[in-house]
Amino acid sequence: MNTSQDPRESTRGLLNTAAVLRHGFLDVLGESTSSPVPTFAQRAMNSRLVATVYERLWRPTSFYLASGITARAEQRRAAAALRLSTAHRLLDVACGPGNFTAPLARCLPAGALAVGFDISEPMLTRAVVDNDGPQTCYVRGDARVLPFDDETFDAVCCFGALYLMPEPFDITREMLRVLRPGGRIAILTSYSGQAAPVRKALTATANLIGLAMFDRRSFVDLFSSAGLVDIEQQTQRAVQFVAATKPR
Ligand SMILES: C[S@@+](CC[C@H](N)C(=O)[O-])C[C@H]1O[C@@H](n2cnc3c(N)ncnc32)[C@H](O)[C@@H]1O
């Protein structure tokens, strides 16, 4: 990769569809918004207020309560699981305000590229203000159809978002499509727990605001049926982290 290239130009070269530069991010969607019937949780992610407080207040508080893990520890775990020290292209799906994209970009070798991808304009506007950098570019699009060719990225992640999405497993397969053989995938999502009463209570509460709860097998089974290897899973309270390698 050419180290002197602007990250937006590098990213444009990876996109398989036209994009316009708006507010500092590349937009492949134009005027279109998110799903036709957004849930409460999806509406929140499209709100300017939530985008403003997300990185410093909403995210650290809610995820610390849900997992007992700090954002810094999560970032270290993600960088290690994705093997970023040897990756050249990272895709952070549903990057929100870039709160993982930027710290993960700093773990990449010089000249590598981190692409943050999200559907929410307010989130991406914040990402450009708060989490831009020489190896970072943000793209607005819908993760149901990632606008990249097969096997484009060395590492692909999606944190804190699959439980918001109506098609979490299709989106995970999309992430696998754009991952190159030998590359790593990591996801952080909800975990319903093992004990039936806890599972029932968590699922009912989450469903009220439009969040899905996943059991221990959901993503492990998806990864193993897709042929992935080195599958690692950690569960903490209501959160699970799953990482794996796409075989060569
Ligand atoms: C809670 S934020 C997660 C931000 C960050 N990854 C984190 O771990 O803190 C969830 C993000 O998912 C995005 N999102 C939801 N549906 C999406 C879709 N279909 N395509 C792309 N992004 C989507 C929302 O816009 C929101 O910014």
Per-residue pLDDT of the chain (248 residues; tens, 9 = 90+): 444 589 999 999 999 999 999 999 999 998 776 555 678 888 888 899 999 999 999 999 999 999 999 999 999 999 999 999 999 999 999 999 999 999 999 999 999 999 999 999 999 999 999 999 999 999 999 999 999 999 999 999 999 999 999 999 999 999 999 999 999 999 999 999 867 887 788 788 888 888 999 999 999 999 999 999 999 999 999 999 999 999 99
Contact indicator for 187, 222 with CB cutoff of 8 Å? no
Q: Which two tokens stand for residue 221?
A: 């089974």
| Sign of the torsion angle spanned by Cα atoms 2, 129, 175, 140 | negative
pTM of this structure? 0.95
**CATH number of the CATH domain containing 191:** 3.40.50.150
143 lines ligand 1 (CB under 6 A): yes
Taking the centre of ligand 1 as the mean of its atom positions, its distance from the CA of residue 94, in whole angstroms, is 3
103 in a structural domain: yes
Provide the domain count of the chain: 1
Residue numbers of the domain that contains 219: 7-30+39-246
Contact indicator for 115, 91 with CB cutoff of 8 Å? yes
Cβ-based neighbours of 36, under 8 Å, separated by 6 or more: none
142 lines ligand 1 (CB under 6 A): yes
Q: Which two tokens stand for residue 21?
A: 């530069």
Which of 240, 247, 242, 241 is CA-nearest to residue 231? 242
* Bridge partner list, 139: 26, 117
Q: Which two tokens stand for residue 5?
A: 């290239």
Taking the centre of ligand 1 as the mean of its atom positions, its distance from the CA of residue 195, in whole angstroms, is 28
1 in a structural domain: no
State the DSSP code for 27: E
Task: Report d(CA 198, CA 204) in Å as an integer.
Answer: 10
2 in a structural domain: no
